[in-house]
A and B are shown apart, each in its own frame.
Chain A
Amino acid sequence: MVEALDLSRLDNLFEKHQGEDGALIPVLQEAQNIYGYLPEEVLCYISRMLKVPMSKIYGVVTFYAQFYLNPRGRHIIKSCQGTACHVRGAKGVLESLTRELKVEPGETTKDLNFFLETVTCVGTCFLAPVIMIDKDYFGKLTPKRAVVALKKYI
């Protein structure tokens, strides 16, 4: 049985951004921090409270890479594919992770433990090639060492 979402957790967001121009994106960002992703019910509630049509909200959440409409895993793996990382073997690191986790970027593992995604540049280019798992950085990786980094989170 699926639990109903507690939408009241959003209420103080609307209070906080009351009367603010351009509040949609900050509200979506903070809503995603609460639920981990943006369920449809949450988007509908935001639409009603901010008086913004669902079509516009859908346009915004599908435009920006930061927003997810599906649940993600317990741990978020970001494999940097920026230029400095690319030149130092980021592609091999990513392939190693997709092989090990048996998911493609943008997917969650079956046990819901990991969500794998690519990002272009987290700004720590001296660590190239780098991955982030949640807020932790793992740098100067090889395809093999990337898999070793996952162990801490299993």
Chain B
Amino acid sequence: MKRLFSIEGFLGFQKTLFENRDPQRLRVRICMTGCRAYGAEEVRKAFKTTIDEKGLAEKVDILETGCHGFCARAPVVTIDPQGFFYQQISPRDVPQIVQTSLIKGKPSEKFLYKDPQTEYPIPLEKDVSFYRQQMKIVLRNCGQIDPTRIEDYIARDGYLAFAKALSSMSPEEVIEEVVRSGLRGRGGAGFPTGNKWKFARNAQGDLKYIICNADEGDPGAFMDRAVLEGDPHTVLEGMLIAAYAIGASKGYVYVRAEYPIAVNHIKKAVDDAKAMGLLGQNILGTHFDFEVKIKEGAGAFVCGEETALIASIEGRRGMPRTRPPFPAIAGLWGKPTNINNVETFANIPPIIHKGANFYASLGTEKSKGTKIFALAGKINNTGLVEVPMGITLERIIFDIGGGIPEGKKFKAAQTGGPSGGCIPASLLHLPIDYDSLAAAGAIMGSGGLIITDENTCIVDMAKFFLTFTQNESCGRCVPCRLGTKRMLEILQRITEGTGELSDLETLKELAPMIKDTSLCGLGQTAPNPVLTTLNYFLDEYKVHIEEKRCPAGVCKALIRYQINPETCTGCGVCRKACPQKAINGRAKEPHILDQSLCIKCGICFNECKFDAIKII
């Protein structure tokens, strides 16, 4: 590992790496982060074996990269220099790809993405509709580099922003640049980052801390995971610049233990940066010291809240405390502490490198830059997308996201996880920015975007979120501990068919009270899913209460499964699959479901190939 002792030394090293890049080099870029869960390792092995067999090992680099974004088409592979994009690759496809693309330099049509409208195969990654409207700033390196190689990061302008700040900008100038960029916290609350840094800069104290909040706890959100796994150095560089700006000498990355690859990659990044002289004492020959330690979470959603996170690093139960004093004044071990989210830090190097004006030219007036969204749920193109602020939800869901599977009808988009709200079809034209979403009663949140369709019960969704927040409530304050419990009990009754209209009034009374009086963000936002679903889907609640019916066919107490004797072919698949032996019938004759034995597990419905079972 090369050790660097001065800023000039670093700049010279960076220039060499940059000039040594060969844009014509044959490369196989395989996502080995998320796609690993769907067989990417076997695909990689197949490439290695085939490339070795063909004697191409000297000419072709196999690059294990981070997330390419199009997770729905895992495993994905891109071939350079052309940029041929291959998807849903299995090991047996590899010999043909090697022959056609690596040896002959042509696209291998069978494995290309086909446009769903025209059915034409699209050879190049940049032309695929999923990618065309994206703007990758935070994700600029994900999928392009090996995240475990610091040289890959540096070759693509890595640590140039830090060198610029260290050599030619004062800490105040760095902060001013971040203020002018308009960057707002990407963890969900959207507080102006530059202002937050100012508070920490101005705080009294000889020892200050930087903390990176990588406790991405929102279910359905995996943006921070991808950044840490695919480009950990951009986060470290952001932390370095922040440390320089506020005068901090120690930092922590608090990452949830459920992300083992992210933990490994950020640990490697810290070790490599240290070995190179970019972390530690007298960095690059200056008086600036900064060291970073990694702490793993222990499975508590509430530790995403900054004061609970601090308590966890201190080895205590993760319970929030009142503020003021804010962490910027008195945080970790009582010292001034600046905490930012992973994506916030990842935005800092491009802002310093290219300037605040560049960044502020993207997005809307009050929401600058880009945002990464994790698309999941009932949507064709699940994965990660980075788009400029101000794009409409409609374009994200339908143009980039490919719409709803099986031609079903869109119902609502859930943003902000358990702290967020749902956005109905009538508001799809809303531009994504902090203020328009807030005005609609929703929040931007960290970026999780769950799409639901006509078969999602909105009351069940609200119950789901309340179950979650109830479980994760630390228990310290009454409004959250008991308030979420009471709201959950009401929702449970409604989904079981014993709700009353007065329950809706109780919910409307409880919700603002819990919001106003809870100690921390968990309790303060827990009622949001209830409030927004009541606002936009009141009728669905009423049907559950007045008609004891679940229109989406989800709430078990209110639905029945029924075999249609006219379409049932008597194949017997459901009879054999039923765990309760509730279905009977003779071969080739319509079968009958005994309702008294049915536990509504839904297995028969899933297994029937003839659509003969209905939910009523």
Contact = CB atoms under 8 A, between A and B. Distances in A.
Interface of A: 21-26, 28-29, 52, 56, 59-60, 63-67, 81-89, 92, 95-96, 99, 119-128, 130, 135, 137, 139, 142-144
Given A83-B414, A96-B601, A120-B468, A137 B38 contact: yes
B298 A25 contact: yes
B407 interface: no
B298 A139 contact: no
A83 B603 contact: no
Interface of B: 34, 37-38, 71-72, 74, 216-222, 225, 257-260, 295-301, 312-318, 333, 374, 376-378, 382-383, 414, 417, 448, 450, 452, 456, 461, 464-465, 468, 474, 577, 579, 601-603, 606-607
Given A26-B295, A83-B464, A126 B34 contact: yes
A25 to B, nearest CB: 5
Contacts of B465: 83
A86 B462 CA distance: 12
Given A63-B300, A64-B299, A142-B606, A126 B71 contact: yes
B317 A59 contact: yes
Contacts of B448: 83
Contacts of A60: 315-317
A143 B312 contact: no
Given A23-B315, A127-B38, A143 B603 contact: yes
Contacts of A86: 219, 464
Contacts of B216: 123
A126 B257 contact: no
A21 B333 contact: yes
A81 B468 CA distance: 10
Nearest to B252: A22
Contacts of A92: 601-603, 606
20 contacts: A21-B314, A23-B315, A25-B296, A25-B315, A26-B295, A63-B474, A64-B298, A64-B318, A82-B219, A86-B219, A86-B464, A120-B468, A124-B222, A126-B34, A126-B72, A126-B382, A127-B37, A128-B382, A143-B603, A144-B607
B315 A87 contact: no
A29 B298 contact: yes
Select the residue from A65, A121, A130 with max chain B CB neighbours within 10 A: A121
Contact of A82 (B71, B220, B474): B220
Contact of B602 (A28, A89, A123): A89
B606 A144 contact: yes
Contacts of A124: 34, 37, 71, 222
Nearest to A62: B317
Contacts of A59: 317
A126 B601 CA distance: 23
Contacts of A135: 260
Select the residue from A26, A65, A82, A85 with max chain B CB neighbours within 10 A: A82
B376 A144 contact: no
B312 A25 contact: yes
